[in-house]
Amino acid sequence: MKLNLIRPLAFFDLETTGVNVGADRIVEIAILKAMPDGSELVKTMRIHPEMPIPLQSSLIHGIYDEHIAAAPKFSQVAAELAEFIGDADLAGYNSNRFDIPVLLEEFLRAGVDFDMTNRKFVDVQNIFHQMEQRTLRAAYKFYCDKDIINAHSAEADITATYHVLLAQLERYENADFEDKQGNVSQPVKNDVDALHSFTNMNKPFDFAGRMVFNEEGEEVFNFGKHKNRSVESVFDTEPSYYAWMKQGDFPLYTKKKLEEIWLRWNKKKDLARAAKNQSPKSTEAVRSNEGVKHAEATRFAEAAKPAAGTNPANAKPAQPARPEQQGGGQPRKPFQQQPKKEKPAVDVTSDMLEQLKMKFGK
């Protein structure tokens, strides 16, 4: 079977120093680029991770420190990899939760803006787990009746993943699938848009899953004390949460997507503020204030004019009226300054400190 493609679909697999998306690094990357004309392009590359490879990771993928001693750093090949992938959609095995987030972290560290806009993401594992719920090795055996040679080699894994998808398309053509809500559909089709929808059912916003879309299409937190709350509503009540996440141990791409929401939220606040200032009530208050100022200026100018028939040069400055001449001749009581009321002390909270930090950039 040939994939029905409008644009290339890049299958890729990573071998890494570990499974921490924000901290671990790539030691090998393999990309199989399936082209619309049916041809395939493959690129495999060892990467120096700029950190020691833990033994437990080496025992899994077979790559040790001496194997990558002379390999280039990711920053040295980032532009080349981005160019090879081009505008291709992305596919892999568990790629939505691991490979894509790790790759994005590496591109961001290297200063390469790898645009994810309008790309489709096909996670073959999600098809497998939802239809059969087994491992890649079992999937390859189940769908292709073959054993993976050199399992945990990046190139062997992506080749197996590619052939598993082709076999899945044949096996599940016109097959019914019932979701948790009882809706029945036939989601496994030879169409990248349909596969994208079926393999992204959790609707991640940042790939690492810290933020997801709810049924209304709003970004909501998917962890911690604000789980299931919209990100913007949390900013409304606890804006310091943004600073906490920006300074915390979260993936760079998660922070980038969080900043997008933060900027959008601030823009909404600014627009609301501007609209409030331009409301009819506010305009009338400004006009009224300007009228008062104009009247006071006019009275001051009239009072400053010399009396008729006098020479302005010889005019004496007006003397202030004596107390007994003010208020009908009754002397005024001397002004007594009222003692200031002291405000009660307020406990300084961590939220107040965080907001001060954000305001003054400290």
CATH fold label, 9-129: Nucleotidyltransferase; domain 5 (3.30.420)
pTM of the model: 0.59
* Residues in Cβ contact with 174 at an 8 Å cutoff, skipping those fewer than 6 apart: 186
Residues in the chain: 362
For the chain, the structural domain boundaries read 9-129, 136-200, 211-273
**How many Cα atoms sit within 13 Å of 361 on the Cβ side?**
0
Output phi, psi for 206, to 5 deg: -120, 10
Cross-sheet strand order for the sheet of 9-16: 40-46, 26-34, 9-16, 89-92, 121-123
pLDDT of residue 135: 82
Q: Which amino acid is at 274?
A: A
Segments in the chain below pLDDT 50 = 309-310, 312-315, 317-318, 321, 323-328, 362
Burial 167-186 (b: 16+ CB within 10 A, else e): bbbeebeeeeeeeeeeeeee
pLDDT of residue 296: 57
Report strand pairing: 26-34 vs 40-46: antiparallel
